[in-house]
Amino acid sequence: MDKILPSLLAGDFANLGRDIGRMEAAGADMFHLDVMDGQFVPNISYGLPVIEAISKVSNIPIDVHLMTLQPDQFIEELKRMGVAMVSFHVEATHHPHRLIQKIQQNGMKAGIALNPHSAVSELEYLLPDLDFVLIMTVNPGFGGQEFISQCVGKITELDGMRKAHNYQFDIEVDGGINDETAAICRDEGANLFVSGSHLFKAEDPAAAISRLRG
């Protein structure tokens, strides 16, 4: 089932509570939070105190994307906050399989994010254990970037591997997602759609979310 995840990085940080309520009323399925450390990516977004504040007012599940080094250090705290899904970058840890297990043992769905330069083959032996794969269709670290069309082939490749082996993981896409790019990604097998500026700048967020669902 397709799900729409507004990326709060595109929200108004001075009025996050308002924007959260606005997106919930519009029919969003989950919120997507990009955690940046200024090391793995050249930007800093928000840390654990802000995530905890968001978790207290959100009425829908939260998906946390760790764009950080040493992502394992955050898992217990994210569990305590009731986060539903956590993804990390395969380059950010020496032991990705161990981290997948740690996330799942803490009751959350585990995913790995692939940067535009990262190959699907890096995940070949991890796919049986993953709950989802996050395909970055922009370079991570900043919102409002244009969709990188060359990344669509990764969705196609992942969907082929999923069907060939009867794997159950979801395919999430993040970066430049609008009506047109969501349709392209959906046709190739994606079913979780992260959208930031497109939703938060929409005059009618409910209509925008409905269109993203296809």
CATH number of the domain encompassing residue 202: 3.20.20.70
So what's the pLDDT on residue 19? 97
Place of tokens 């409905």: 210
The share of the chain scoring above pLDDT 70, in percent, equals 97
Q: Can you say how many angstroms the Cα of residue 58 is from the centroid of all Cα atoms in its chain?
A: 17
pLDDT (0 to 100) of residue 144: 56
For residue 200, name the pLDDT band (cuts at 50, 70, 90): very high
Phi/psi of residue 67, each to 5°?
-95, 60
Tell me what pLDDT residue 124 has.
93
The pLDDT of 27-44, averaged and rounded, is 90
Identify whether 34 is a catalytic site residue.
yes
Q: Residue 131 catalytic?
A: no
Binding residues: 7, 32, 34, 65, 141-144, 174-176, 196-197
- Give the mean pLDDT of 194-211: 96
Question: Concatenated DSSP letters for 141-186?
Answer: T-SSPPP-GGGHHHHHHHHHHHHHHT---EEEEESS--HHHHHHHH
- Tell me the binding residues for a divalent metal cation: 32, 34, 65, 174
Q: Which of 19, 34, 37, 63 is catalytic?
A: 34
Where is the binding site for substrate, in residues?
A: 7, 65, 141-144, 174-176, 196-197
* Confidence (pTM): 0.95
> Which one is catalytic: 19, 131, 170, 174?
174
Range of the domain at 197: 3-212
**pLDDT tens digits along 99-119:** 999 999 999 999 999 998 899
Number of domains in the chain: 1
Give me the mean pLDDT over the 29-51 stretch: 89
What pLDDT shows up at residue 143? 57
Q: What is the pLDDT of residues 126-162, one digit of tens each?
A: 999 999 999 998 776 555 567 878 889 999 999 999 9
